[in-house]
Structure 1
Amino acid sequence: MIDPAARRRRRLLLAALVVVCLVLITAGFGSTGGSSTGGPIGALGEGASKIAKPVRDLVRWVGDTADAKGEAEELRADAARLRKENVDLTSRLRKFPNERRLQALIARYDLQRNSPVPANVIGHSPTAWATTITIDRGANDGVEERQAVVGAAGEGAGLVGFVSAVSGGQATVSLLPSQDVAVGARLVTKDLATNRLILTVHGAGAGTVDDLELDFVPSTTDIEPGTLVATSGTVGDTTQFPSNAPPELPIGKVTRVDNERTDEQVAHIKPLVDLRTLENVQVLTRVVNGNRGQ
């Protein structure tokens, strides 16, 4: 659309050119002395025609130039809009596989009953010493401290951390490798006795973003690399050590075991989710059955 101010300027210019045209016509008529063929009227018509032509051409050129300028501005605006739409579409296409995996996780573990609140990651901790993310949902959206957060990035989906600080429209999530995060867990194996063991997962130490440790594994328990580790949830009727995460949520897979088959054996776990590239998560804002298993 042509700028209204530009349209007004064109009209003023055209009016000025009309005035110039009349002046030139008058001057031309005076120069003919009224003696051209056809008398004064003929002289006036002939002089006006000759003098007004360049003026008409000038007026037409000015109008065409203004129209072309307006069209160019419209094209630039259209190009800017298309560039923005392209960026948005590219971002959505990039996020689509992770969003699909996250929705599959929610469906598989029936997390809709936990009233998940979707959130975008708007900030990552600047150093590995504080493994946190900032999300664009907060107390105004029902987000509270200690709520579990699930996400998808890389090739997997699962538990990524817990809400550790909340404001009206934002929240901080401490990711699993954080030293202040710990969660009850189980080894997912075919051995029922091993499955019943309640273990603890926590960060492996400052500076790590993809290494967790599984503690309190009995020396009699064999731990195979590649074994899936999932949340245990709250066990039994006790409320002394309730879990902040629903049961069975996948955490990661065992990569190696230190001090194997001893009382000090510790399994190292790589999170299923690439925590460094998280872009969107869901906060589980409602606890169902005290986070106990069904």
Structure 2
Amino acid sequence: MFKFNRNTLIAAVLVITLIIIVSFFYFSDLNLPFINWLSDLIYNTITPVLNLIHHLVENIKNYFITLFSIDEINQEIKELRQKNSTLERQILFLENINRENKRLRDLLGFKEKVDYQMQGAEVIANSPSVWEKIITINRGSRDGLEKRMPVVSYHGYLVGRIENTGSNSAQVRLITDQDFVVGGIIARTESREIGLVRGSGRDDQPNIMDNIAWDADIETGDIILSSGLSNNFPAGLKIGEVSKVETDNYGLSQKAEINLFISDITLEEVMVIKNFDSEISGDNETEQNETNEDSETAEAIEEDEEIEEN
């Protein structure tokens, strides 16, 4: 235990006396240089200590305030997290609405560019089978849909054709299905060669365009469109892009691997072409191919498409 001795008592008295004297001169407005210097010295010495004590007291006070209000803070954090989750869901919902609006605008824009009579539809199911590439849409016979009607995406890409119809829904066989065949034509003006585009039925195998003439002008990067040489599909629908060309049938013909355009998009909405003028489409494509069209290939296109449909 601390004990006061004589020296300590004398020192304390002197300090107190000095403080009283300095205070007296300070508050009496007497202008004495020594007293002013001493007063400033004492003030500058004590002020940092007082500030440190003040901050320490504030920190202790804030600590106890936080400690006693921890339940309230936890409840506020919980409410903020709930609000954040709600806002995130709303953002996702609005982003989905925005994407849907963009797709619908693209569908409307495509519909305005062509003379087809079309019916919009939403994709409501995908076939679980690994052997068939089929989707189900929410439009059926009540909406005027019939078997074999072509189906396109909002980009104008060929998706497939109606396989079966119900009253309020229909099944669409995709162009990637192994039983799907459509006549294709190279979009490049200098070529305009024709062939048959066939689905591979598997994601790990390329889709093929075969029955191409052995001397046909076809190269990597060419865009393939529907030829319109049969009555099943209108001419000019975008199918895909040539990724590889090689000889076929021991050099008697050529075949090409095709990257289908629908492989790069998610099918959520589609358009069913209910009516198109096949005669005009066929005549236009025939005129464009007068100089290089192989009549035997044209016949093969129609025969293969009809076999596949039956």
TM-score by length of 2: 0.57
Counterpart AA for 1:107: E
Counterpart AA for 1:201: V
SS in 2 for 1:121: strand
2:217 to 216, 222, 228: 222
CA distance in 2, matches of 1:210, 1:138: 32
Q: Aligned residue for 1:247?
A: 235
CA displacement 1:103-132 (0-9 Å, x = unmatched): 333333x1xx32110000001122442111
CA distance in 1, matches of 2:170, 2:205: 22
Whether 1:99 aligns to 2:101 is no
Structure 1 unaligned runs (5+)? 1-80, 235-241
Residues 289 and 219 of structure 1: is their aligned pair in 2 closer, same or farther, counting only changes over 3 Å? closer
Q: Aligned residue for 1:145?
A: 147
Residues 263 and 275 of structure 1: is their aligned pair in 2 closer, same or farther, counting only changes over 3 Å? same
Q: Aligned residue for 2:180?
A: 181
CA displacement 1:34-84 (0-9 Å, x = unmatched): xxxxxxxxxxxxxxxxxxxxxxxxxxxxxxxxxxxxxxxxxxxxxxx9998
CA distance in 2, matches of 1:221, 1:92: 46
Residues 160 and 293 of structure 1: is their aligned pair in 2 closer, same or farther, counting only changes over 3 Å? farther
Q: Give identity over the alignment, percent.
A: 29
CA distance in 2, matches of 1:224, 1:101: 30
Residues 216 and 138 of structure 1: is their aligned pair in 2 closer, same or farther, counting only changes over 3 Å? same
Could you tell me how far 1:161 is from its partner in structure 2? 0.4
CA distance in 2, matches of 1:116, 1:85: 33
1:90 to 78, 86, 95: 95
Could you tell me how far 1:87 is from its partner in structure 2? 5.7
Could you tell me how far 1:255 is from its partner in structure 2? 0.8
Residues 253 and 150 of structure 1: is their aligned pair in 2 closer, same or farther, counting only changes over 3 Å? same
Question: Contact 1:210–1:270 (CA<8 Å) still a contact in 2?
Answer: no
CA distance in 1, matches of 2:121, 2:171: 11
CA distance in 2, matches of 1:87, 1:258: 46
Whether 1:115 aligns to 2:120 is no
Question: Contact 1:183–1:243 (CA<8 Å) still a contact in 2?
Answer: no
Counterpart AA for 1:251: I
CA distance in 2, matches of 1:257, 1:137: 39
| Structure-to-structure mapping, 1:170-209, within 5 angstroms | 170-191=169-190, 194-195=191-192, 197-204=193-200, 206-208=201-203
| Structure-to-structure mapping, 1:65-84, within 5 angstroms | none
1:213 to 183, 208, 219: 208
Counterpart AA for 1:287: F
CA displacement 1:216-236 (0-9 Å, x = unmatched): 1111123211100001113xx
Counterpart AA for 1:103: L
CA distance in 1, matches of 2:110, 2:139: 20
CA distance in 2, matches of 1:134, 1:90: 25
CA distance in 2, matches of 1:128, 1:169: 25
CA distance in 1, matches of 2:112, 2:157: 12
The alignment's C-alpha RMSD in Å is 3.0
SS in 2 for 1:173: strand
Question: Contact 1:176–1:212 (CA<8 Å) still a contact in 2?
Answer: no
Counterpart AA for 1:202: R
Larger mean Cα displacement after TM superposition, 213-222 or 84-93: 84-93
CA distance in 2, matches of 1:274, 1:97: 19
1:285 to 274, 277, 281: 274
CA distance in 1, matches of 2:251, 2:106: 37
TM-score by length of 1: 0.60
Question: Contact 1:211–1:271 (CA<8 Å) still a contact in 2?
Answer: no
CA displacement 1:154-195 (0-9 Å, x = unmatched): xx541110000100000000010112211111111131xx31
Whether 1:131 aligns to 2:121 is no
SS in 2 for 1:248: coil
Structure 2 unaligned runs (5+)? 1-85, 285-310
Question: Contact 1:138–1:166 (CA<8 Å) still a contact in 2?
Answer: yes
Counterpart AA for 2:194: I
| Structure-to-structure mapping, 1:146-161, within 5 angstroms | 146-152=148-154, 157-161=156-160
Q: Aligned residue for 1:56?
A: none
CA distance in 2, matches of 1:128, 1:103: 33
Question: Contact 2:183–2:226 (CA<8 Å) still a contact in 1?
Answer: yes
